Amino acid sequence: MAGKKDDKNSGAPPWEGNRRKQARGWFRKILGWGAALALVAAVVNGMRAKPVEVETAAIRRGGLTVFVTEEGKTRIRNRYTVSAPVAGQMGRVTLRAGDEVKAAETVITVIEPGIPPLLDPRRRAQALAAVDAAEASRQRAMQGLDLAKTDAQFALTNWNRIKATGEKGALAANDRDNYERAAEMKQREVRSAEFAVQVAEFELAQAKAALMSMEGVKAGESVEVRAPVSGRVLKVLQESSVVVSPGTAIIEIGDPADLEIEAEILSRDAVGIKLGAEVSVEEWGEDAPLQARVRRIEPAAFTKVSALGVEEQRVLVLCDLVKPPAAAAALGDRYRVEVRIAVWHEDSTLLAPSGALFREGSEWRAFVPKDGIVHAVPVEAGRTDGRSIQVLSGLAEGSEVLLHPPDTVTDGSMVVVRRSLP
């Protein structure tokens, strides 16, 4: 009763209470709608795609060299197999692989000739013809040596002249290197020609020994087989004391310091290789690669079955080492190496990182960012060395492209650059 009386005596109209209740109701509705709108905004913001962090790189201009990479192996340039000149009982060979031998001094083995066969005119004529052929080969080898010495002297004179004038800037660096390489190659050809003369002289001695054995050998007379060239023993082919016939291989001799690189290149890649092309020899035992140049590309290919069982046509490419370091002396015959042969070079061309271009169907494309949005741009790509790709059209020098774009990036995606590479 007291409360009701207070309400009646308050003096406030009865509709004022209803108005306050309505105001509180609207306020609750506004709070509810505001919370609902905030929740919807949060959901929409969460569902909206966020910018993807990417790395970019600039299209630059520079030089590009394309290499053909294949496994190769070292081999001694000049090797010689010593064989028995006459038939008879051969003594045991005491030399071992790696032993040093000297031309016409080191005795490899001694052969006690057997009973000579009956001498007939035909066999005698064949033996005399073999002697004449060996003499002709020796004369030809000597003429080849004279020609090699003349060419080497001419190349060396040119190189000395270039060294005197090239320091003044009268010749391009590339031409200067070519003259130096020519002089060095001619010197190596002289060494090969000298080796050929030694071999020819030994073959002549063998032919004369064969003729002597047919004409008869005195009792107790033996034939000493001496080293035809100086070098080291590579392989002993016949060690035990056995009866041998003329031509039986006994030992293999060569100079381990005179190495060349042999690489079996796919025929489709060998077409682009030029004589004198630069070669980088890697995986040979040291971190720093060896420098070499292509000396010869053999004209005939051969069939080789790959590890996957696929028949491939391959070509032998021979390379000469250029100023090998002292550590390269540890290389021996038939050591495995990896060769990278330059088949194409351009001094100045537009380059893009290989991770910036991707295939879309049969076309190359790149993502170019602009105002936070990326656009897929068609690109005409040229050659590549595995790290950089030649850009023929579609991108300009200095343009920024996405580097290794993730799968979530598509044409029109929003991105934010995390790092830009030069």
pLDDT given at position 219:
46
Spell out the residues 6+ positions from residue 19 whose beta carbon is closer than 8 angstroms to its own: none
Closest listed residue to residue 195, CA positions, set 305, 273, 80, 99: 80
Domain spans of the chain? Answer: 52-64+348-421, 66-74+258-345, 79-112+218-254, 115-216
Q: Which pLDDT band holds residue 70 (cuts at 50, 70, 90)?
A: very high
CATH of 66-74+258-345, one of 2.40.37.10, 3.30.450.20, 2.40.30.170, 1.25.40.10: 2.40.30.170
Q: Which pLDDT band holds residue 38 (cuts at 50, 70, 90)?
A: confident
> Which is more confidently placed, 270 or 417?
270
Q: Which pLDDT band holds residue 1 (cuts at 50, 70, 90)?
A: very low
Spell out the residues 6+ positions from residue 194 whose beta carbon is closer than 8 angstroms to its own: 145
DSSP string, 162-202: HHHHHTTT-S-HHHHHHHHHHHHHHHHHHHHHHHHHHHHHH
> Which is more confidently placed, 398 or 183?
398
In the predicted structure, residue 204 carries a pLDDT above the cut 80: no
- R_g of the chain, CA atoms, integer Å: 42
Task: List the Cα angle 357/363/364 in 5-degree steps.
Answer: 10
Q: What percent of the chain has pLDDT over 90?
A: 31
Contact 148, 196 (CB under 8 A): no
Q: What percent of the chain has pLDDT over 70?
A: 83
Please write the tens of the pLDDT for every residue from 102-128. Answer: 988 899 999 887 665 555 566 667 677
- Average of per-residue pLDDT across 354-378: 89
Contact 233, 101 (CB under 8 A): yes
pLDDT given at position 184:
78
In the predicted structure, residue 5 carries a pLDDT above the cut 60: no
pLDDT given at position 304:
92
- Average of per-residue pLDDT across 24-42: 73
Contact 340, 68 (CB under 8 A): yes
| SS3 sequence of 256-300 | CCCEEEEEEEEHHHHCCCCCCCEEEEECCCCCCCEEEEEEEECCC
What would the two tokens of residue 4 be? 């009701």
pLDDT given at position 270:
92
> Which is more confidently placed, 177 or 318?
318
Helix (H) or strand (E) segment spanning residue 208: helix 173-215
CATH of 52-64+348-421, one of 1.10.3720.10, 2.40.420.20, 2.30.30.90, 3.40.50.261: 2.40.420.20
Q: Which region holds residue 412: left if phi is over 0, alpha if psi is between -120 and 50, else beta?
A: left
pLDDT given at position 297:
93
* Domains 66-74+258-345 and 79-112+218-254 in one fold: no
How many Cβ atoms from other residues are within 10 Å of residue 102's Cβ?
Answer: 11
Closest listed residue to residue 390, CA positions, set 69, 68, 59: 59
Closest listed residue to residue 93, CA positions, set 235, 217, 205: 235
In the predicted structure, residue 265 carries a pLDDT above the cut 90: yes
Q: Which pLDDT band holds residue 151 (cuts at 50, 70, 90)?
A: confident
- Average of per-residue pLDDT across 213-240: 78
- What's the predicted TM-score (pTM) here? 0.60
The highest-confidence range among 7-16, 32-41, 256-265, by mean pLDDT, is 256-265
pLDDT given at position 316:
95
Mean pLDDT of the chain: 82
Q: Which pLDDT band holds residue 280 (cuts at 50, 70, 90)?
A: very high
- Domain 79-112+218-254, CATH: 2.40.50.100
In the predicted structure, residue 381 carries a pLDDT above the cut 90: yes
Q: Which pLDDT band holds residue 17 (cuts at 50, 70, 90)?
A: low
pLDDT given at position 133:
81
pLDDT given at position 421:
67
pLDDT given at position 412:
84
In the predicted structure, residue 213 carries a pLDDT above the cut 60: no
Please write the tens of the pLDDT for every residue from 289-313. Answer: 999 999 999 999 999 998 888 999 9
Q: Give the Cα separation of 199 and 229 in Å (integer).
A: 7
Q: Give the Cα separation of 100 and 366 in Å (integer).
A: 62
Q: Give the Cα separation of 271 and 269 in Å (integer).
A: 5
Helix (H) or strand (E) segment spanning residue 47: helix 15-47
